[in-house]
């Protein structure tokens, strides 16, 4: 399909994950019009990984009938990447992509395509997407979270994205909520992610005797919906940890709203009810009891939409605060 120039600039958005690379054309309305996904190569060669990403970008441009040669039409490339990253250096070192360590993705994309490249963490991209076009629209102080295979987050403060010193602000999944909790993949102890992620939730259920389905978080959610006691306890434990962590974040940052997306959050009341109970127990000060915790509304494209916003609405979402470069 060809994208017309009548609607203003569009962006090429990229979502870099350990399982998939996705590239999409995103319009100023936050619509994804062409999306290409490829499996992340299981390669330790940084250039093999980069070529796979570039191929998906090229295929997306071709399918949309676009090129970067028209700056009136293309605002640039917005990248949401699995963390960690270093915003200042433009490098990334995703835990689950071992072939990229301090890989200079921003410079490589600029060298190849010659357009502005904005880079943020994938959970920050989701927070931006929900703030730009989703459940958090109109709120100036927002924690956006993803609860799926892992637990991630991103912050909008004072109406702007808040990247922190190195671009990693919002890593609530690796804030500890249990000093004697399980060891996390990051090396920490009792991290929220080690308790409330889909992988952790399912592992806890299995270690407590759950044998339903394939033993995944989806199977635990299905069993919990049917009243399985261990499955319900797994969601209560995850909801309690989330409520504690969110209460801490809200108290620290004086937020208006917390929005939660991702596969585990899709379990709905199974997760949100114990979360709300825990939240009201741990958030005691008046200002901290007021914010609402709500489900995300943009679904699986939230990260692509947020990555696009970095170049389509740079005054609000460009992480350096100095506009596209
Ligand atoms: Zn951790």
Tens digits of pLDDT across the chain (325 residues):
555 545 589 999 999 999 999 999 999 999 999 999 999 999 999 999 999 999 999 999 999 999 998 878 999 999 999 989 999 999 999 988 999 999 999 999 999 999 999 999 999 999 999 999 999 999 999 999 999 999 999 999 999 999 999 999 999 999 999 999 999 999 999 999 999 999 999 999 999 999 999 999 999 999 999 999 999 999 999 999 999 999 999 999 999 999 999 999 999 999 999 999 999 999 999 999 989 999 999 999 999 999 999 999 999 999 975 566 5
- Going from the Cα of 170 to the center of ligand 1, the distance in angstroms, rounded, reads 13
- Vertex 101, ends 18 and 81: CA angle to 5°? 40
- Going from the Cα of 174 to the center of ligand 1, the distance in angstroms, rounded, reads 4
Count other C-beta atoms under 10 Å from residue 322's C-beta: 8
- Going from the Cα of 261 to the center of ligand 1, the distance in angstroms, rounded, reads 19
What distance in Å separates the CA atoms of residue 293 and residue 273, rounded to the nearest whole number?
11
- Going from the Cα of 185 to the center of ligand 1, the distance in angstroms, rounded, reads 6
pTM for the full model?
0.94
Q: How buried is 112 (Cβ within 10 angstroms: 0-12 exposed, 13-18 middle, 19+ buried)?
A: middle
- Going from the Cα of 94 to the center of ligand 1, the distance in angstroms, rounded, reads 14
| Strands of the 160-161 sheet, one edge to the other | 160-161, 151-157, 142-147, 257-261, 292-295
DSSP conformation class of 243:
H
- Going from the Cα of 109 to the center of ligand 1, the distance in angstroms, rounded, reads 30
Name residues with Cβ closer than 5 Å to ligand 1, which is an ion. Answer: 174, 184, 186, 188, 191
- Going from the Cα of 33 to the center of ligand 1, the distance in angstroms, rounded, reads 35
- Going from the Cα of 189 to the center of ligand 1, the distance in angstroms, rounded, reads 7
- Going from the Cα of 262 to the center of ligand 1, the distance in angstroms, rounded, reads 18
């Amino acid at each position: 399909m060809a994208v017309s120039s009548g609607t203003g600039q569009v962006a090429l958005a990229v979502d870099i994950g350990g399982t998939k690379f996705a590239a999409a054309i995103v319009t100023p309305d936050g619509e994804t019009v062409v999306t290409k996904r490829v499996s992340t190569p299981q390669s330790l060669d940084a250039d093999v990984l980069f070529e796979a990403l570039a191929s998906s970008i090229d295929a997306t441009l071709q399918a949309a009938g676009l090129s970067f040669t028209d700056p009136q039409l293309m605002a640039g490339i917005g990248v949401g990447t699995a963390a960690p990253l270093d915003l200042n250096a433009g490098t990334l070192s995703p835990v689950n992509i071992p072939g990229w360590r301090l890989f200079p993705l921003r410079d490589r994309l600029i060298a190849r395509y010659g357009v502005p490249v904005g880079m943020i963490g994938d959970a920050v991209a989701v927070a931006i997407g929900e703030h730009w076009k989703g459940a958090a629209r109109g709120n100036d102080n927002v924690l956006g979270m993803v609860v799926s295979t892992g637990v991630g987050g991103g912050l909008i403060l004072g109406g702007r994205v808040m990247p922190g010193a190195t671009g990693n602000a919002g890593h609530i999944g690796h804030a500890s909520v249990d000093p004697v909790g399980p060891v996390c993949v990051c090396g920490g102890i009792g991290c929220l992610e080690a308790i409330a992620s889909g992988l952790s939730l399912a592992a806890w259920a299995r270690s407590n005797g759950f044998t339903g389905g394939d033993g995944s978080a989806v199977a635990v959610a299905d069993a919990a919906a049917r009243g399985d006691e261990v499955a319900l306890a797994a969601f209560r434990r995850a909801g309690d940890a989330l409520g504690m962590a969110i209460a801490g974040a809200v108290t620290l940052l004086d937020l208006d709203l917390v929005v939660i997306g991702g596969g585990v959050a899709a379990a709905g009341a199974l997760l949100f009810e114990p979360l709300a109970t825990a939240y009201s127990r741990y958030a005691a000060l008046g200002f901290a009891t007021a914010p609402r915790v709500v489900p995300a509304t943009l679904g699986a494209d939230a990260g692509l939409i947020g990555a696009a916003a970095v170049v389509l609405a740079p005054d609000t979402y460009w992480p350096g605060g100095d506009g596209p470069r």
